[in-house]
Structure 1
Amino acid sequence: MTYAMGEALQTAVYQRLVSDPEVTDLTKGAVFDSVPDPAPDLFVALGPEKVRNRSDNTGPGASHEFRVSVVTRRQGYLAAKSVAACISDAMIKTTLTLSRGSVVFLRFVRAEARRDEGEGTRRIDLWFQARLADHTTEQRIRNFE
């Protein structure tokens, strides 16, 4: 198993979202790994992930299930749904390029829209799954042989 590509995946997802013109236009560039205080009234935040071992006879790998959230203080879900649709399109239209390893596949898993009465927000959580192969580790092993 390897978690070594977690940083590379997060960086690639963030870069994909901040470089997408539609996401940037709809959020006015409010895409965050760490949400500032005070937060804008509509923003995108990278969230938690679950990682499982997916190593096989070709080498080490992992399956990363990660969340991208659209959060708004605006009334209704329409603005958040527009951003969520753009995020979904941006994530699956081309393969992510990682600084370590490679993406075997990336797919949309599920979404959940809900209200947070306590914070006065609406949010849409989008979950994606990325299967990653760590060729770097495989190459290191070969170098020692």
Structure 2
Amino acid sequence: MSVSPVLALRKAIRAYLLADAGFAAAFGQKLYDEAPRGAEPPYALFGDAQLRDWSADLSPGAEQLFTISVTSSMRGLSEALELAQRIADLLDEAALNLQDHRLVDLRFFSMETRREQNGRFARVNLRFRATTEYL
């Protein structure tokens, strides 16, 4: 049984981002599936993912639309936007190695900002599109 394309992509993204010195300096190891209670910002969080069939005649595949969110406690959006842009730059067209899958394409798609808890936290949601083929 092969690994889910969503899990395979998340594992590869996690390894790729944590190996980057700039990401590690900004976030440490704080790239979560769910932020632990009391986690101190800044941190990045895997958000929702949508998986669709993207099969061709001879090769089964998947399209994923997924979100990575950046949370900051700095006033304003500057820190969150800078950190989010680092992630977008790193992942856009990145060549990642996935377990049981081959990454065909990974693209940054869009960015959305918002404030939470009466402006206490700034959040930037990054949306990506990835296409993969099963091995």
Q: Does TM, scored on the shorter chain, surpass 0.5?
A: yes
Pairs within 5 Å for 1:1-12 = 4-12=4-12
% identical aligned pairs: 26
Q: How many Å apart are 1:3 and its aligned residue?
A: 8.1
More strand by share: 2
Write the mapping of 1:23-102 to structure 2, written as runs, cut at 5 A: 23-92=23-92, 94-102=94-102
AA of the residue aligned to 2:18: V
Letter in 2 for 1:125: N
The separation in 1 between residues aligned to 2:58 and 2:106, in whole angstroms, is 19
The aligned amino acid for 2:107 is R
Q: Deviations over 1:44-76 (max 9, x none)?
A: 111110111111112111101111100112111
Alpha-carbon deviations, 1:63-118, whole Å to 9, x = none?
Answer: 01111100112111111111111101111253111011101111011110111135
**Which aligned runs of 4 or more in structure 1 are off by greater than 2 angstroms?**
117-120
Counterpart residue type for residue 71 of structure 1: T
8 Å Cα contact 2:93/2:107 also seen in 1: no
**How big is the alpha-carbon RMSD for the aligned residues of Structure 1 and Structure 2?**
1.8
| Structure (1 or 2) with the greater helix fraction | 1
Gaps of 5+ in 2: none
Question: Would the aligned equivalents of 1:109 and 1:127 in 2 still touch at CA under 8 Å?
Answer: yes
Q: Which moved more, 1:124-133 or 1:79-88?
A: 79-88
Deviations along 1:19-65, whole A, 9 cap, x unmatched? 11111111233222221110112111111101111111121111011
Counting matched residue pairs gives 134
CA offsets, 1:106-140, max 9 Å, x none? 101111011113583110000000000112xxxxx
Contact 2:101 2:132 in 1 (8 A): yes
Once the 2 structures are TM-superposed, how far is the Cα of residue 16 of structure 1 from its aligned partner? 1.4
TM-score normalised according to structure 1 size? 0.84
> What is aligned with 1:129?
129
Runs of at least 5 residues in structure 1 that lack an aligned partner in the other structure: 136-145
TM-score, normalised relative to structure 2: 0.90
Distance 1:20 1:33 in 2: 19
